[in-house]
Amino acid sequence: MPPPPLPKTPYTSCYCEENIYLLAQAFLGNPDVSRHWEIFVVFISNSSKSVALWNQKRALEQDLPVVWDYHVVLLLGPREEFQHPTRDMTRTATASVDAEDKSNKVWIYDCDTRLPLPCVLEDYMFSTFMDVPPHYERIIPGDVFLKQFASDRSHMLVAEDDGAVSQASDQAWTDLKYIAPPPSYEPIRGTSAVEKGVVNNLMSSFVDMASSERTFGHVIDKAAMSTRM
């Protein structure tokens, strides 16, 4: 079967992690999708928090990249491929697919791309990344992301001192402003995050590409993904 169309979920510019959370939630809650497709959330970043992506809607010119500190997309693959007993999650998420059959392809949903939505994984990788500088992908099962993710949106707050914008880590929230308007709904906290008392783990558990006891999913680089396509 062909990949599902993009559902009508809320979209907020510059809040890709929340856009993808709501998209994953919609797909996992739809039996027609979850029965046939495996759902992963993919965080894209590196140690310098500087990743160049081409064909983004916010690019100043069509042939210029947008440089994000991180970006988040959704990966959708046929369930029979993901459940193959000889493959682990990371290998399956980057598996090669039959170019003649849409039901066997792996698809990327990027709410900020100019490319088709969804886009075949190979086409997305080729048209989006030129690795200046290199980047990595943290691949998380969709259900794990929905349970564990939490963000208080503090990474989008800044303080303005003498006309200069600085990071707002130690500032009182009443003295801060958002660098981009936040979503109209309340900040997201997954059920497991709520149970653990976690208010914000966006950077430490998902954007950080170093593995630790706080992180979720598996990290691979572009070369590893490209060799398995």
- CB neighbours of 26 closer than 8 A, spacing ≥ 6? 7, 9
| Residue in 14, 16, 101, 119 annotated catalytic | 16
| Residue in 110, 111, 119, 155 annotated catalytic | 110
71 catalytic? Reply is yes
First to last CA, the chain: 20
119 catalytic? Reply is no
Helix ranges (H only) for 72-133 are: 79-82, 89-93, 121-128
| Residue in 32, 36, 63, 71 annotated catalytic | 71
98 catalytic? Reply is no
Other Cβ atoms within 10 Å of 115 Cβ, number: 17
The residue among 180, 41, 11 whose CA lies nearest residue 108 is: 41
Is 174 buried (19+), middle (13-18) or exposed (0-12) by CB count in 10 A? exposed
Is 166 buried (19+), middle (13-18) or exposed (0-12) by CB count in 10 A? exposed
Residues carrying an active site annotation: 16, 71, 110
